[in-house]
Amino acid sequence: MPLENDTLLRALRREPVDHGPVWLMRQAGRYLPEYAALRARAGSFMALATTPSLATEVTLQPLARFPLDAAILFSDILTIPDAMGLGLSFAEGEGPRFARAVADEASVGALEAPDLARLSYVFDAVGQIKRALAGRVPLIGFAGSPFTLACYMIEGGASDDFATVRKMAFARPDLIDRIVAVNADAVAGYLVEQLRAGADALMLFDTWGGLLSEAAYQRFSLEPMRSVLRRLPAGVPTILFTKGRAGSLASIAESGASCMGLDWTADLGDARRRHGARIAIQGNLDPLALLTDPRSVEAAVVDLLRAAGPEPGYVFNLGHGIVPATPPENVAALVAAVHAISRSATSGAAARAIVPGESAGSRAGPRVHGA
């Protein structure tokens, strides 16, 4: 089925678009009252993620409110280690825990990529979401990066500082090598199946690559992601996002991904100038900007669109996931501002012409939220 709105895919291929595509990491989530209601009915986060009909409903919730240019599969990056038999659970307010950590010679040696049949609920969800979308916008499938999965597996769950992982990077790098190699096999197979089930683009979330030294990032995180990307069918649009590596963009730009996601600390304008001819770029508003007010959000959008410039290959997004306290009206203001400003820009007037004299960080922005 051809897509009604393929703006995201065009931007990922660095083709011209009539408006700038926008989607938001964690766009389906706790800031939406309808999500909270459905989660309460389902009983748990994992019930939502493992029941295709519920995952479908959650995935579509933000699209009913906002004219976003993409849907993203509602799931969790830890489905893979869960399918490896590590015993995933989510304690309320505590983040993910595994019954078994993978942090010694024996557990690392025993590690194997999971039978993908154990993840069929994910592929079923992808298929159902595609049917429900009926071609409105593309669907992004995703996985955690091999290293980010390894972080949770080694630590046995979430952590403030991932001390076990960081120590292991010095004392037993060979163990991390083995874990990320197994994870790369698993992630590659998992993404290929999401693609078969109907995903239009694929994203790797490398939430914790920023914990590492540059040499360790290259070895434990970026190279395994490259390995995953090499195993995907040619031509599939891919997005690689590492948080906390604004200093590593040159090597990420050479990773083989179609697009690199920037966290909010990276210099979007500089990244576009240096790397925009080789790779599309996505990002990078501080998610906490969405805790302010529509006017401040619009001013921030103006600044970012100016930094991104008019050349093809830019996808508006946050620099990390939406936080639960976000007022939905600020998300509405953001999406409207991206569309209005980028439409003006692509219809002839450059973004900077809309707001002459506007300076970075100024509160004076265009009024696009119906005022």
Closest CB 237 distance from its own copies, rounded Å: 25
Residue 249's identity, in one-letter code, is L
Using rule CB under 8 A, residue 264 touches its own copies: yes
- Under the binding rule (CB under 8 A), the answer on residue 247 touching its own copies is yes
Of 151 and 211, CB closest to its own copies: 211
Task: Identify residues 114-173 at the interface with its own copies (CB under 8 A).
Answer: 161, 163, 166-167, 169-171, 173
One of 214, 230, 324, 364 touching its own copies (CB under 8 A): 214
Instruction: Name the nearest CA neighbour of 5 among 192, 155, 135, 184.
Output: 135
If one asks whether residue 328 binds its own copies (CB under 8 A), the answer comes out as no
Asked if residue 33 binds its own copies (CB under 8 A), the reply is no
Residue 101, Cβ density class (10 Å: 0-12 exposed, 13-18 middle, ≥19 buried) = middle
- Does residue 10 belong to the site contacting its own copies (CB under 8 A)? no
Best CA proximity match to 8, nearest among 194, 197, 235, 237? 237
268 binds its own copies, rule: CB under 8 A: yes
DSSP secondary structure letter of residue 321: P
What does DSSP say about strands 314-318 and 280-285: parallel, antiparallel, or unpaired? parallel
d(CA 45, CA 75): 9
Q: Can 76 be counted among the known catalytic residues?
A: yes
Tell me, yes or no, if 314 is annotated catalytic.
no
Distance from C-alpha of 245 to C-alpha of 262, rounded to nearest angstrom: 8
Interface of this chain with its own copies, residues 55 to 94, rule: CB under 8 A: none
53 binds its own copies (CB under 8 A): no
| Binding residue (CB under 8 A) for its own copies from 1, 40, 106, 215 | 215
Is 166 among the residues known to form the active site?
Answer: no
Contact between 243 and its own copies per CB under 8 A? no
Contact status: 363 vs its own copies (CB under 8 A): yes
152 is catalytic: yes
Per-residue CA distances from 4 to 18, 56, 70, 133, 213 (Å): 13, 19, 11, 10, 43
Q: How many residues bind its own copies (CB under 8 A)?
A: 47
Least Cβ distance, residue 162 to its own copies (angstroms): 9
Q: Is 364 in the site for its own copies (CB under 8 A)?
A: no
Query: Among this protein's residues, is 30 annotated catalytic?
Result: yes
Cα 42 to Cα 61: distance, rounded to the nearest angstrom? 15
Helix (H, G, I), strand (E, B) or coil at 99: coil
Out of 6, 69, 76, 185, pick the active-site residue. Answer: 76
Residue 150's alpha-carbon distances to 91, 158, 359, in angstroms, are: 20, 11, 42
Bridge partner residues of 239 (DSSP): 203, 259
Residues in touch with its own copies (CB under 8 A): 161, 163, 166-167, 169-171, 173, 210-217, 219, 244-249, 264-268, 270, 284, 286, 288-289, 291-293, 296-297, 299-300, 303, 307, 319, 360-363
Would you please indicate which residues are annotated as catalytic (active-site) residues? 26, 30, 39, 76, 152
